[in-house]
Amino acid sequence: MRVALDTNVLAYAEGVNGPDRKKAALALITSLAPGVTMLPVQALGELFQVLIRKAHRTAGQARTAILTWCDAFPLIDTSEPVILAAAELAATHRLGFWDAVVLASAADGGCRLLLSEDLQEGFTWHGVTVTNPFANLRHPLLANLLQS
């Protein structure tokens, strides 16, 4: 089973929102089995902005963080079909367009889960289920994945 990480998981792993969130995000990411984690390119673009605006990093520091993430996990491109699917998602499910791009990317990458705090828990689209990995009660798919 493949898993996509949303921007907030990456931002927390970078230390945005404090050391407790960083520790939780890094523990989550490192507990996922090798080869299951993928990153939507859109999430990396959003992370760049978060690191500059919220973490007050320089553009060079944000670039280094993005490149490190690119080296760590396979990427899911924001292709024309992803953009068109995102527009459909935004129009039919009232999602913000950029959130829809992340979800459509996860589907395009063959992911079964999208780990995100920002989208509706349990929402499933094209085989991808959104779940908050920091919730007290973990989605059964994520709980099983972390146990294996």
Report the pLDDT value the prediction gives residue 148, as an integer from 0 to 100.
73
The number of CA neighbours under 13 Å toward the Cβ of 68 is 11
Each residue's pLDDT tens digit, 78-115: 999 999 999 999 999 999 999 999 999 999 999 999 99
- How far apart CA 76 and CA 22 sit, in angstroms, is 24
Q: Map tokens 């280094």 to a residue.
A: 64
Question: pTM here?
Answer: 0.95
Q: What SS3 state is found at 37?
A: strand
> Range of 24's domain?
2-147
Inter-residue contact 8 to 46 (CB < 8 Å): no
**Domain CATH code at residue 72:** 3.40.50.1010
Report the pLDDT value the prediction gives residue 21, as an integer from 0 to 100.
96
Q: What SS3 state is found at 90?
A: helix
Report the pLDDT value the prediction gives residue 100, as an integer from 0 to 100.
97
Inter-residue contact 130 to 116 (CB < 8 Å): yes
What residues contact residue 37 under an 8 Å CB cut-off, 6+ apart? Answer: 2, 3, 4, 5, 29, 73, 74
Mean pLDDT of the chain: 96
Report the pLDDT value the prediction gives residue 107, as an integer from 0 to 100.
98
Domain count, the chain: 1
Each residue's pLDDT tens digit, 14-26: 999 999 999 999 9
